[in-house]
Structure 1
Amino acid sequence: MAKQDGSTPPRRFRLLTIPRVLAVLGGGFAAVVLFLGWCLLQVPVGGGLEPTATPATLILENRDGTGFATRGVLRGQPVTADALPHPLSEAIIAIEDRRFYSHPGVDARGIVRALARAVTRGQVREGASTITQQLARLTFLSQEKTLTRKVQEAMLAIWMERSLSKEEILARYMNAAYFGAGAVGADAAARRYFGKPAGELTLPEAAMIAGLLRAPSALSPIRNLEGAQARANVVLSVMQETGAATPEQVAAARAAPVALQAPPEPMVGRGYFSDWADAEARRLVGPLPLDLSVRTTLDPSLQDLAERVVANVIGKEGERHHATQAALLALAPDGAVLAAVGGVDYASSQFNRVTQARRQPGSLFKLFVYAAAMDAGWRPDQTIQDAPLTIGNWSPGNANGRFAGTVTLREAFARSINTAAVRVQEAVGRDKVAAMARRLGVTADLPLNPSMALGTTETTLAEMVGAFGSVGYGHQVRPYLVQEVRARDRALYTRPERAPAASVSPAVQQAMLDLMQAAVRDGTARAARLDRPVAGKTGTTQDSRDAWFIGMTADAVVGVWVGNDDNSPMNNVGGGGLPARIWQAFMQEADRVRTAAAPSGAPNAAPAPAASQTLRGVPRVVDTATLLVDGREVRLAGIVGVGGEFVGPMAEWIGNREAVCEANDAATWRCKVGGRDLSELVLTNGGGRATTDAAPDLRQAESSARTERLGIWAGG
């Protein structure tokens, strides 16, 4: 109560009694017990002590065997408790948990020591969590930094120490830890960075890998070699401090250069090819839990060129033409994918417009119409009417709105006349045209309506490029990307070597080459002309929603598509515009770099012959215009060659006799066997067609064979 003078008396504090103290302590203990019990109950069920199987990881290689990308998480071989890799295990213990063999899972002394060093030296040289705690976190818990997670981590670590030996804990940790660049596990890291198993690492290599555990992505030597080397020096210092390595060993390790043998990080521009190769390799070998090396068909020079050309042309002209996307596919004559660009920017869109986009091919489909006609006995010089036509309620028109009257099939194809193509289809039979398309690789349903001739059925760029190659080269051309799949030193798949199956008869092949060369020389594809023969065809769909050009030379068949993903119209873009210009820019530069474009398994294309160059050797016949002489590809001057039934008689006539080949120009040769000129001999016997730039004597030889109905002209 207040004093009479109005002042307040001082408050009296009661002394805590023993029962109150016990009650407070008991309440606190109960709270701790409840918190620990709650933490234990929150530990995820089913995590654990057994490694999780993962799909195979792929290291993708160019056709020459050099790596260009990795896919997936590398796992390597599991480290076992009875064969811990040295010196890597000592390096990891030194930098991560120097009292690993003496603590019970949680190292109180280590925590105090780490805190003290962090305060006195201003840097952290070792972690406060033990290896056992880190293993608990990796196998059971998340990476969140909360008190609950730290308590769970400690509880699990103590349990692990009572359940597993120290060696088992260390082995499991080395298998579960992430070392950067997609490598999970010590053995995967050793193979990723140094191309060897973990047990074969040298001391400087082991120090570098152990140093990655603190910051694997930031310190990956592929991205940050300087940082990885600095961290490795820290590891070596700690190993010397703890006695894991002698001063002499540390000095020698610092003096020894570390040579990386690592495939590069995935290249964004090659993402479309990588996705395609990844899916194909897994299809071929199945879901094996192994790290795989995949030898692909990729020609890196052509791939870089294709990416650059597509980006440049669309970047400069795309906005003006309202064209936002393009795709390019280049195949060797046997179907090997040399380059594949599935879009303008892989980082923005991984949708592959080479294999996944199904679009209307437009006039490209006329390839099948005219091939079916040639198969039925028609010939390029036959005539057809370009005049108004009505079938039921449908009347096709021409792009220019005009009609030319009577034209040859060559003119109709070259100028892509719609009414003529429909008349040819109706005369030959829609079923015959559809059968030809399926024979040449089109997989979509083909409704047998009259508009089929104008390409209203959706297909992919990959299918269409393969179909054009099949017609132009005379044998089945199906795109493939994988040459070999290996699991370390064991081959799981090797592409079999087999003679390609004939796709069309030699007569059909030669007739279609005639038509396709006319399209480039005189027709809608003039923008694709080169200084050597080119055969091809343009395609444009209604309102310029799709624009295509597919063309071929003796080296490769290349297709280009331009359009918009939302199928919106472009501004008057036809196949003879942007697609043909992209194609020509790619092929002109490809001719200059002269990268290998020979069939898989054959030697690379020969360098451009010098005018005075002579080549000798017993030749092997690839087709009637292509020989392999002394390991080099030789293209005979003046001939568009054929394969199939004509190869055997030519090879039999040559036998084991030597060919003497003289350079004709920058790309072709005149070869003699037994004093006979092979180019003239082939054409005289109807074993091929003369090219548009063939010498007069060769044109005369072709004319003679045509008059006498020899070889490919027998049915003419």
Structure 2
Amino acid sequence: MGKRGSRRAASERRSQEQSGKRRSRRSSGGGGRGGGKGGGNSPFARWARRLLLWGTGLAVLGIVVLGIAVAFAAKSLPSYYQLKATQNAQTILVRARDGSEIVELGPSFGEWLDHDEIPATMKDAMVAVEDRRFYSHFGVDPIRLTGAIVESFTGDKRIGGTSTITQQLARNVFLNNNRTFDRKLREAVLAMALEWKFSKEQILELYLNKVYFGGGAYGIDSASRNFFSHPATRLSTAEAAIIAGLVKAPSSYSPTADVDAAVGRARVVLQLMQEQGYITASQAKVDVDSVKLKKSTGQNSVRYFTDWVLPQLDILLPETFEPIEVWTTIDVGMQQAATAAVKANAPKGAQGALVSLDRDGAILAMVGGTDYVETNYNRATNAMRQPGSAWKLFVYLAALEAGYTPDDRVVDTPVTINGWSPRNSSGRNVGEIDLRTAFAYSINTVAAQLGNEVGFGTVASMARRFGITSPISTYPSMVLGSSEVRLLDMTRAFAAVSARGTSVEPFGVIKVTTAGGETIYRHEKPRTSQLVPDYVAAGITDLLQTAVNTGTGKAAQIGRPVAGKTGTTSSNKDGYFVGFSSGVTTGVWMGRDDNKRVPGLQGGRAPAQAFAAFMRYAVKDRPVEEFDTELQLPEWRLEPDDEYLYGDPDDYYFIDEQGNLIEPGRREADPQGELPFPVEGEQLPRERLRPDLPSEAGQAASDEFLERATGQDLPPDSPQPPAEPPMPRTVRPSEMANEPRQPPPGY
């Protein structure tokens, strides 16, 4: 019994111990197999550790690579004294076509100020507005960098992702202004290299002496002398705030261009200085309006031209930083005459613009507004405005190319095209007239019918052919000039007509030379192309001359042959006149920048008067030139059969279904025998617009007409066509002038 009891007791103890161990394992394991998944050996934990290790390794590698790049950049940087001696910017001397100086651009006079000479208020203002953490970052501001990254994803422009002062210095001294990732990366590396090599005081001194403040002023001393007529050592708090505010946008906040904008920006700078503890609240309330600005005497209308032409040097020239002289096409006398003509004739409260081209495309004069100092926006090259009836140039060019002649009879009658019903400015219709008269008096219903007949796409293609680069509508109302255009483009189109249908490319630079006299660019005559046949150019010149002689453009007469066209938009918002004489083509636009109506503004009044005032001076030393308006029609135009409609592809030009010009001899045979004019919308019967063309099938003209046209007798066995009413007699504008009925006034 004793032994058996002892063995049983031992067995029970072993069982209890094993049970306790199992309970212990369950307790420590957190739930058996479920606890095993959440343990440290799970796949998720293993991948997390790997990503952390790889990320840390890549970050360390990136830092090492960046450190090496910064070290190499710092080693290659010029010394502090070399940077002080480098030129701030390129000096450009602009000359007129006669060699006289018209403007000098580049660094204006200013002394280098050491860090201790720069007023503390100027340094504080610049740091406050451009880089509040300047004294604590290492060249790149991590907070701003994060903001820039967030902005790139969210598009939130309120986030400050701009460059630090050190980055701006690196960009201004070593790089360009391209907004690319590669340039930003190099900018950051150079900024850190600058911080590595130079002290904060040296970096701020370099920046304040090299940054551009507008108006040719590089550095705070130059800016102070330009805007306030005294050195920067005497800058007040308000003046320092104005200068510091210019860095963001020198042209927008320049006190010589927009005082209100400059003052408003200065108040922002003062507020930032107060928030960052540089000035007290009372100092921040300084009266910025009381600052006395230097009166500007060097600005004039020729700056509209230089602002347009000088950016082209980036394309025309190889990269160079040495001083250069730019010889331009501008004529000083004509520029002065153009400025005076626009100022004298622009209605009160309206702006005006003028651009004049020589026969080779050289720009003789350019005026972008009534006052460059007041506003430097160039309305001659940048403004998009409706040309009104001046657009009819392209409508009638398309009609002449389609087979019309100035003597053809058309009908001024009410018309509706796709629900659109144009009206004449007189509110009435005059009935049957010739094409010449319809153009001279700018009859809207005739232009609408012509556009509908030849196709609105064809009219748009004609405008493209003559150099219109802006979007063109193909709705029916486009024939009256509803598409917005640039004045320079319209003037170019009329210059091509003056050149007898040959393309004209406007240009403003004749040559560029270095200070040593080496020519590094010379303008070469571009390859030209014939835009329309000679007889089309002669026909449209006939119409344009009549518009000035007896039509809406009488105010543009200057005592010698002038051809041109007026244009006025609805509610008198825009007035246009474009014309040419003696090889000079000039376009004039007038209107308000806010597109409000201008009482009494019509293309045949103020714009035509400004044109005449300028052109009298522009052509005074040129010989009088008569226009070539004689129609030398090709033989196919005289044929009485289908060749009248198609033309001979080996002799002249052809327009395909998209309205594109096909050069002689390149047209392929049309197996369908269809007309080459696209048809859009509801087509008006041809006989409604052209009463001289019969609508019935069969012979299109009587034998008597054919004999007169061909100058020979028909064969005796020629079949006789049905009787045809006599053709209406052509009414010349001179004859209409003697009639008691007054033609409708132009607009």
**TM-score normalised by length of structure 1:** 0.51
Contact 1:341 1:354 in 2 (8 A): yes
8 Å Cα contact 2:556/2:612 also seen in 1: yes
Cα deviation for residue 69 of structure 1 reads 0.5
Q: How much does 1:500 deviate?
A: 3.6
Unaligned 5+ segments in structure 2 are 1-76, 128-134, 136-196, 199-205, 223-230, 235-295, 631-708, 712-747
In the other structure, the counterpart of 1:268 is 300
Change (3 A) 1:375 1:48: farther
Q: Distance in 1 between matches of 2:297 and 2:116?
A: 28
* Aligned-partner Cα distance in 1 for 2:560–2:89: 47
Q: Is the 8 A contact 1:69 1:267 kept in 2?
A: no
1:311 aligned to 2:337? no
Q: Which residues of 2 match residues 469-484 of structure 1 at below 5 A?
A: 469-474=495-500, 475-484=502-511
Distance change >3 Å, CA 139–CA 584, structure 1 → 2: same
CA 1:410–1:63: 2 relative to 1, 3 Å: same
- The alignment status of 1:371 with 2:397, answered yes or no, reads yes
Any idea what the Cα deviations from partners look like across 1:226-258, whole Å, max 9, x if unmatched?
Answer: xxxxxxxxxxxxxxxxxxxxxxxxxxxxxxxxx
SS of 2:575's partner is strand
1:329 aligns with 2:355: yes
1:279 to 311, 314, 321: 311
More strand by share: 1
Q: Percent identity?
A: 36
Query: 2:436–2:543: 8 Å Cα contact kept in structure 1?
Result: yes
Is 1:70 paired with 2:104? yes
In the alignment, the residues of structure 2 paired with residue 383 and residue 138 of structure 1 have an alpha-carbon distance, to the nearest angstrom, of 83
Amino acid at match of 2:574: D
- Take 2:451 and 2:121, find their aligned partners in 1: how far apart are those partners? 65
Counterpart-to-counterpart distance in 2, 1:555 and 1:707: 36
Equivalences for 1:431-580 in 2 at 5 Å? 431-474=457-500, 475-488=502-515, 489-498=517-526, 500-580=528-608
Contact 1:48 1:139 in 2 (8 A): no
What SS does the corresponding residue of 1:397 show, helix, strand or coil?
Answer: coil
Q: Which ranges in structure 1 are unaligned for 5 or more consecutive residues?
A: 1-45, 76-91, 97-130, 153-162, 165-171, 189-211, 216-263, 595-604, 606-634, 643-705, 709-716
Displacement after TM superposition at 1:555 (Å): 3.0
Counterpart-to-counterpart distance in 1, 2:423 and 2:116: 70
Paired position in structure 1 for 2:628: 640
- Contact (CA 8 Å) 1:181, 1:265: kept in 2 or not? no
Q: 1-side partners of 2:356 and 2:417: how far apart?
A: 38
Relative distance call for 1:510 and 1:542 in structure 2 (3 A) is same
- Give the whole-Å Cα distance in 2 for the aligned partners of 1:137 and 1:486: 41
Residue 291 of structure 1 pairs with residue 297 of structure 2: no
> Residue type matched to 1:557 in 2?
T
Could you tell me which residue of structure 1 aligns to residue 413 of structure 2? 387
Whether the 8 Å contact between 1:391 and 1:450 is mirrored in structure 2 is: yes
Q: Which amino acid aligns with 1:441?
A: G
Q: Kindly state the Cα deviation for residue 280 of structure 1 after the two structures are TM-superposed.
A: 2.3
d(CA) in 1 for partners of 2:533, 2:539: 10
Secondary structure of the corresponding residue to residue 640 of structure 1: coil
* Structure 1 pair 471–213 and aligned structure 2 pair: CA distance change class (3 A): same
Equivalent runs, 1:4-15 vs 2, <5 Å: none
Is 1:300 the counterpart of 2:332? The answer is yes
Q: State the alpha-carbon separation in 2 of the partners of residues 637 and 447 from structure 1.
A: 36
- Residue aligned with 1:537, SS: strand
CA contact (8 A) 1:410 1:518 kept: yes
Cα displacement string for residues 630-664 of structure 1 (whole angstroms, at most 9, x for unaligned residues): xxxxx58756399xxxxxxxxxxxxxxxxxxxxxx
Alignment check: 8 A CA contact 1:281 1:485 kept? no
Equivalent in 353, 374, 380 of residue 348 of structure 1: 374
Partner of 1:81: none
Deviation at residue 707 of structure 1 after TM alignment = 10
List per-residue Cα deviations over 1:337-380 (Å, max 9, x = no partner): 11111001111111111011000111011000111111222211
Q: In structure 2, what residue type is equivalent to 1:518? A: T
Please point out which of 407, 414, 420 is paired with 2:433.
Answer: 407
Residue identity matched to 1:549:
F
**Cα shift readout 1:429-449 (whole Å, capped 9, x = no counterpart):** 222111110010001222211
Distance 2:625 2:416 in 1: 47
- The question of whether the paired residues in 2 share the 8 Å contact of 1:281 and 1:294 is answered with no
- Aligned-partner residue type, residue 453 of structure 1: V
Query: Residues of 2 paired with 1:412 and 1:523: CA distance?
Result: 9
How big is the shift at 1:589? 3.3
Q: Please identify, of 570-579 and 135-144, the stretch whose mean Cα deviation from structure 2 is larger.
A: 135-144
Whole-angstrom CA distance in 1 between matches of 2:334 and 2:478: 34
Change (3 A) 1:503 1:48: farther
Q: CA deviation at 1:183?
A: 8.2
SS in 1 for 2:103: strand
RMSD: 4.2
Deviation at 1:143, TM superposition (A): 5.3
In 2: Cα distance, 1:438 partner to 1:496 partner: 24
TM-aligned CA deviation for residue 269 of structure 1: 2.5
Cα distance, 1:472 vs. partner? 2.1
Q: Deviations over 1:250-305 (max 9, x none)?
A: xxxxxxxxxxxxxx984423221121122223332266433321111010001011
Secondary structure of the corresponding residue to residue 572 of structure 1: coil
Instruction: Give the residue type in structure 1 aligned to 2:314.
Output: R
The answer on whether the counterparts of 1:70 and 1:265 sit within 8 Å (CA) in structure 2 is no
Could you tell me which amino acid in structure 2 is paired with residue 464 of structure 1?
Answer: M
Q: 1:47 to 1:564 in 2, by over 3 A?
A: farther
The answer (yes or no) to whether the contact 2:584–2:619 under 8 Å persists in 1 is no
AA aligned opposite 2:424 = N
Alignment of 1:586 with 2:574, yes or no, is: no
Q: Which amino acid aligns with 2:327?
A: R
Inter-partner Cα distance in structure 2 for 1:551 and 1:331: 11
**Partner Cα separation in structure 2 for residue 512 and residue 564 of structure 1:** 31
Given that 2:369 and 2:378 are in contact with CA atoms closer than 8 Å, whether structure 1 keeps it comes out as yes
Query: Alpha carbons of 1:144 and 1:214: their partners in 2 closer, same or farther (altered >3 Å)?
Result: closer
Relative to structure 1, is the Cα distance of residues 638 and 430 closer, same or farther in structure 2, using a 3 angstrom cutoff? closer
Please give the alpha-carbon distance, in whole angstroms, between the structure 2 residues aligned to 1:184 and 1:588: 43
Distance of 1:541 and 1:419 partners within structure 2: 16
Paired with 2:471 and 2:326, the residues of 1 have a C-alpha distance of 33
Alignment partners' CA distance in 2, 1:399 and 1:426: 20
The equivalences for 1:696-707 within 5 A come to none
- TM-score, normalised to structure 2, is 0.49
Residues 472-495 of structure 1: per-residue CA shift (max 9 Å, x gap):
212212221111122323323210
Checking the alignment, whether the CA contact within 8 Å between 1:68 and 1:267 is kept in structure 2 is no
CA distance in 2, matches of 1:334, 1:407: 36
Q: Equivalents in 1 of 2:442, 2:396: separation in Å?
A: 11
The one-letter amino acid of 2:505's match is R
The CA deviation string for residues 586-624 of structure 1, in whole angstroms up to 9 with x for no partner, is: 1223344x3xxxxxxxxxx5xxxxxxxxxxxxxxxxxxx
Say if 2:422 is the partner of 1:396: yes
- Among 60, 66, 73, the alignment partner of 2:94 is 60
Q: 1:137 Cα deviation (Å)?
A: 6.0
SS of 1:349's equivalent in the other structure is: coil
CA contact (8 A) 2:334 2:618 kept: yes
Q: Distance in 1 between matches of 2:341 and 2:118?
A: 48
Name the SS for the 1:435 alignment partner: helix
* Equivalent residues of 2:118, 2:232 under 8 A apart: no
Structure 1 position 499, deviation (Å):
5.8
Question: Do the aligned residues in 2 keep the contact of 1:517 with 1:535 (CA within 8 Å)?
Answer: yes
Equivalent pair of 2:398/2:459 in contact (CA under 8 Å): yes
Contact 2:299 2:372 in 1 (8 A): no
Larger radius of gyration: 2
Residue in 1 that maps onto 2:734: none
Task: Quickly say closer, same or farther: Cα 1:409–1:181, change in 2 above 3 A.
Answer: closer
Q: Are residues 350 and 383 of structure 1, via their aligned partners in 2, closer, same or farther at CA, if it must alter by over 3 Å? A: same
